[in-house]
Amino acid sequence: MTAEAPLAGVEGLGAQSLVELALRRLRAEILDGELAPGERLVEEQLTRRFGISRAPLREALRLLGQQGLVEHLPRRGVRVAELSAKDISELFSLRDVLEEFAVRTALAGGTPDPARLAALERATERIERASAENRPVKRAEAHREYHLALVALAGHHHLLRMYEPVILQLQLYMATNMRREAEQRSAVEGAKRHRRLYDAVASGDADAVMSALHTHGAQTFLAPELGADTPH
Sequence spans of domains, the chain: 7-80, 85-231
The proportion of the chain whose per-residue pLDDT surpasses 70, expressed as a percent, equals 81
Q: If we measure between CA atoms, which residue out of 97, 123, 134 comes closest to residue 197?
A: 123
Residues for the chain: how many in total?
232
Reported as a single tens digit per residue, the pLDDT across 99-158 is 999 999 999 988 899 999 999 999 999 999 998 998 877 888 899 999 999 999 999 999
**Exposure letters 88-118 (e unless 16+ CB within 10 A, then b):** beebbeebbebbeebbebbbeeeebeeebbe
For residue 14, what pLDDT is reported?
57
Q: How confident is the model at residue 11 (pLDDT cuts 50, 70, 90)?
A: very low
Please state which CATH class domain 7-80 belongs to: mainly alpha
pLDDT tens, residue by residue, 95-110: 999 999 999 999 998 8
Q: Can you tell me whether residue 218 is helix, strand or coil?
A: coil
If you classify domain 85-231 with CATH, what class do you get? Answer: mainly alpha
How many other C-beta atoms can be found within 10 angstroms of the C-beta atom of residue 9?
Answer: 11
pLDDT digits (tens, 9 = 90+) for 197-213: 999 999 998 889 999 88
HSE-CB of 140 using CA atoms within 13 angstroms: 24
Q: Would residue 12 be called left, alpha or beta, if left means φ above 0 and alpha means ψ between -120 and 50 degrees?
A: left
Q: Give tens-digit pLDDT for 162-211.
A: 999 999 888 888 766 655 555 556 678 889 999 999 999 999 988 899 99
Exposure of 225 in the CB half-sphere (CA atoms within 13 A): 8
- The predicted model scores a pTM of 0.76
